[in-house]
């Protein structure tokens, strides 16, 4: 894969870049590989849930300047209701 193509398929999370390749979609699930570019590591995953756990594990290992990430939380959402009672 060319370097220019990687930017289309990569996503920045907490200062790290991951390339996710989906090899198979079966039984409403994905199987593939996830590559952590900064650490030069590639791991296969057998399900979407396993992929999420691998991402979470990698993010937990990333040092931050203040020690915390500012991710969204279900408790912090302030979204207006989709419908109104009017």
CA distance 6 to 15: 16
- DSSP code string of 51-76: HHHHHHHHHHTS--SSS------TTT
- Contact indicator for 23, 12 with CB cutoff of 8 Å: no
Give the chain's residues under pLDDT 50: 13
Residue 19, pLDDT score: 93
Dmax over Cα atoms in the chain, in whole Å?
Answer: 55
- For residue 83, give the 3-state DSSP assignment: coil
Could you tell me the pTM of the whole model? 0.59
Residue 45, pLDDT score: 92
Residue 26, pLDDT score: 84
């Amino acid at each position: 894969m060319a370097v220019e193509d990687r930017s289309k398929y990569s996503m920045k999370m907490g200062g790290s870049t991951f390339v996710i390749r989906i090899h198979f979609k079966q039984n409403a699930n994905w199987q593939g590989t996830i590559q952590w570019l900064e650490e030069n590591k590639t791991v296969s995953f057998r399900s979407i849930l396993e992929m999420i756990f691998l991402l979470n594990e990698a993010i937990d290992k990333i040092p931050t300047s203040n020690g915390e990430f500012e991710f969204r939380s279900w408790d912090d959402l302030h979204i207006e209701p989709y419908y109104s009672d009017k």
